[in-house]
Chains A and B, each alone.
Chain A
Amino acid sequence: MNNSTNSTMSRVEKTLARRYRAEKRFRVYGLLSILFGLACLAILFTDIISKGHSAFLQTRIQLTVELDPEELEIDDPTDPDQIRGGYYQGVIRDALAERFPEVDGRSAKRALNALVSDGAVYQLQDELRDDPALLGQEVSLWLLADDDVDTYVKSRREGQAFAGMLGEDQVQWIESLIASDDLRTQLNTTFFTASDSREPEQAGIAGAALGSLLTLLVTLVLSFPIGVAAAIYLEEYAPKNRVTELIEVNINNLAAVPSIIFGLLGLAIFINWFGMPRSVPLVGGLVLTLMTLPTIIISSRAAIKSVPPSIREAALGIGASRMQMVLHHVLPLAMPGMLTGTIIGMAQALGETAPLLMIGMVAFIVDLPAGVTDPATVLPVQIFLWSDSPERAFVERTSAAIMVLLAFLILMNTLAIWLRKRLERRW
């Protein structure tokens, strides 16, 4: 007896060290997995931020511009038609010629004029519209520099000046501007207020962000009520039989269908059959609704399931109808879970490009969309389009747009967590 206990104990003791080691290894594996994930995330973030941070700065050149009415062909600065039709290039060229009087010859002058972006024209236009009294005066303005100048100035700061398509004399002029403090970098507000443009210095994400917002609005308005209603019916009313089982299997399957399939479906149904226009947020929202519905239904059902049956029984026991029971008791208690599921579904929809490819939202659109039926594009598509552009200055803008998209995603997921924490009840 004693012997046998001893032998068991000795056997346990023999293997004990090995089991402790195995335990330790097991923990280390888990820790390593987490560290691996974090390292990947860190690499991704450093890469994106190191490439993209410079896009938030924009090079500007200070010039003294004489707003000569004759040169501008404007005699009444309060007339919007005249303001739009003004010949602003002329006064900018004159200002540059005054700053660099030694430049002579047609091609040299062209090279000099190329330092200032074409967008500077609209800047002058805005100045004059806001303050008509400026006409005929000399004003000192910080004008938008061309993207090649911008790239040169930024790469110079990092120690490796990249002249790219700039000529030698152009580089000299830039150096002279830097030396006289007439060139500086400042916050790139254009990036947040402008739409897409083929000139990197004039390109911004406002159009794409607005497009994303409109698309998500359509998705939310459609998918949340439909998803919640479907979940309530399936959980509270539907009989448990083969048909509902089949529906359940199908919903779970749909959640795993590649998103491009929904795009093809949208193209076939909404555009080819219903005749809706291409490239509009309405169709984009409809397609993304199809995509996010399964996610919302599944999470809403889980939330409804987690409401204790005793609450239902208590409500029914004091005479509530089933509808009252659902609307007054189950739904409010399940709401945090439903909202979390919805927000996660929305975050997925925000990052989606594949289904939008099929319905024409991968497009160059300059005008801001005014409604859900105006052509628009979305943030991830904007990133895709910029990443494919040859202009060097788009590289940093691509990364910057990724940073903005990531910020939105983090914000939405934080909101989901906050809502869950805030509204969650425990029984």
Chain B
Amino acid sequence: MKKVLLSLGLATTLVSSPALMAQGRDYISIVGSSTVYPFSTVVAERFGRKTQFSTPKVESTGSGGGLKLFCQGVGVSHPDIANASRRIKKSEVELCESNGVKGIVEVLIGYDGIVLANSKSTDQLDVSRKDLFLALAKQVPNPNGSGFIANPHKTWKDVNPALPATKIEVLGPPPTSGTRDAFVELVMEEGCDEIPAIAELKDSDKNKHKMVCQSIREDGAFIEAGENDNLIVQKLQANPKALGIFGFSFLDQNSDKVQGSKIGGVAPTFDSISDGSYPVSRPLYFYVKKAHVGVIPGIREYLEEFTSERAWGEDGYLAEKGMIPLSEERRDEIAQDVENLEALSM
């Protein structure tokens, strides 16, 4: 009897499964960046509560993974929206096009600051991007002027005499993380061009220049601490000498434990990131499949909610979650484009 029941159950599961594939989807499917995830989910939740539509499903897959899924094709089995903590690449637009995803609407939603922080029990650090490059690069210019040597700097004082003589110990995200990509782009690459010997390379040997600017040292001074920013905060608390690299919202939430280092003399605060004086911040985007608007219920309304003042405005609930809003003109401009579903052109 038991056996019969079990096989019945098995049969129904197998039979019922093809049926569900044919039916439509009544919720929005969102994939993409883990940095945009905290913001995207807040909007999704509020949208689900306020309207009669189902709450969108938000998957945290990383920017690259999300855009890859997004570009697989048009139809209910493919996601409607992809979040990204960087702009979509040309190659990704091409992939989308080759799979029949033609109209893509780009929405710039705001900024996210990346901070360098240490435990509150020690002094606040004031470094420049050049200092950071010299402290963390795999190779630095040879002091005698010829070629490059493996990074010899042991303490911050070696990098810049004005800095304390503590050991260089930086906890940061692994190469798979978008935060790492952004850090390399906004700090390392900027910092290395401030050094004349490297800036020269830009014209003479592009590949070498890229390699020098993008490689982070692997001799223990930079420690890959995993994708979890909370973990880095905990480790900083346990080790006051170490510095950590993570998103601004984690600094905001743990202001009793850690402090943000000044970069180029500017401390990371909500205002300094938003007016652009704090140099390390990156844009956050999401991309919408035009072909799905009107097919999957609620996409237009979701866009409306996201681009409303109460969401992404100066005092909106996204700002409360740590996202740095755009200027008012930019917001108006983008909201207008979104309303007209202006397709992205690259």
Where the two chains meet, the residues of A that have a C-beta atom closer than 8 Å to any C-beta of B are 110, 122, 162, 164-165, 197-199, 218, 221-222, 224-225, 274-279, 282, 360, 362-367, 372-373, 375, 385, 387-392, 395
Let me know if A279 and B229 touch, CB within 8 A.
no
Q: Which residues of A contact B55 (CB under 8 A)?
A: 365-367
Q: A222, A365, A385: which contacts B10 (Cβ < 8 A)? A: A222
Q: Smallest CB-CB separation from B42: which chain A residue?
A: A198
Let me know if A365 and B13 touch, CB within 8 A.
no
Known contacts A224-B6, A360-B31, A372-B13; can you find 13 more A-B pairs with CB under 8 A?
A165-B255, A218-B13, A225-B10, A277-B25, A279-B57, A279-B59, A360-B59, A363-B57, A366-B48, A373-B16, A388-B227, A389-B38, A390-B253
Q: Smallest CB-CB separation from B19: which chain A residue?
A: A373
Q: Number of B interface residues, CB 8 Å?
A: 47
Q: Which residues of A contact B3 (CB under 8 A)?
A: 225
Smallest beta-carbon distance B48→chain A, Å:
6
In the bound complex, CA of A164 to CA of B257 (Å)? 10
In the bound complex, CA of A375 to CA of B7 (Å)? 25
Q: A164-B255, A197-B45, A390-B229 are in contact. Are A364 and B37 (CB under 8 A)?
A: yes
B142: Cβ under 8 A from any A Cβ: no
Let me know if A164 and B253 touch, CB within 8 A.
yes
Give the A-B pair count, Cβ closer than 8 A.
106
Q: Which residues of B contact A391 (CB under 8 A)?
A: 253
B34: Cβ under 8 A from any A Cβ: yes
Let me know if A221 and B13 touch, CB within 8 A.
yes
Binds A, one of B204-212, B244-252, B282-290, B300-308: B244-252
Q: Supply 15 A–B pairs (Cβ within 8 Å), ascending by A.
A: A162-B256, A164-B253, A164-B256, A277-B77, A279-B59, A364-B59, A366-B45, A366-B55, A373-B20, A375-B57, A385-B60, A387-B228, A388-B34, A388-B229, A390-B247
Q: Which residues of B contact A367 (CB under 8 A)?
A: 27, 48, 54-55
Let me know if A364 and B254 touch, CB within 8 A.
no
Q: Which residues of A contact B315 (CB under 8 A)?
A: 110
In the bound complex, CA of A285 to CA of B9 (Å)? 14
Smallest beta-carbon distance A68→chain B, Å:
22
Let me know if B41 and A221 touch, CB within 8 A.
no
Let me know if A276 and B17 touch, CB within 8 A.
yes
Let me know if A275 and B21 touch, CB within 8 A.
yes
Let me know if A198 and B38 touch, CB within 8 A.
yes
Interface centre among A165, A279, A392, A395 (most CB of B within 10 A): A392
Let me know if B7 and A395 touch, CB within 8 A.
no
Q: Which residues of B contact A199 (CB under 8 A)?
A: 45
Q: Smallest CB-CB separation from B52: which chain A residue?
A: A84
In the bound complex, CA of A165 to CA of B252 (Å)? 8
Let me know if A387 and B230 touch, CB within 8 A.
yes
Q: Which residues of A contact B60 (CB under 8 A)?
A: 362-364, 385, 388
Q: Which residues of A contact B38 (CB under 8 A)?
A: 198, 389-390
Q: Which residues of A contact B21 (CB under 8 A)?
A: 274-277
Q: Smallest CB-CB separation from B78: which chain A residue?
A: A278
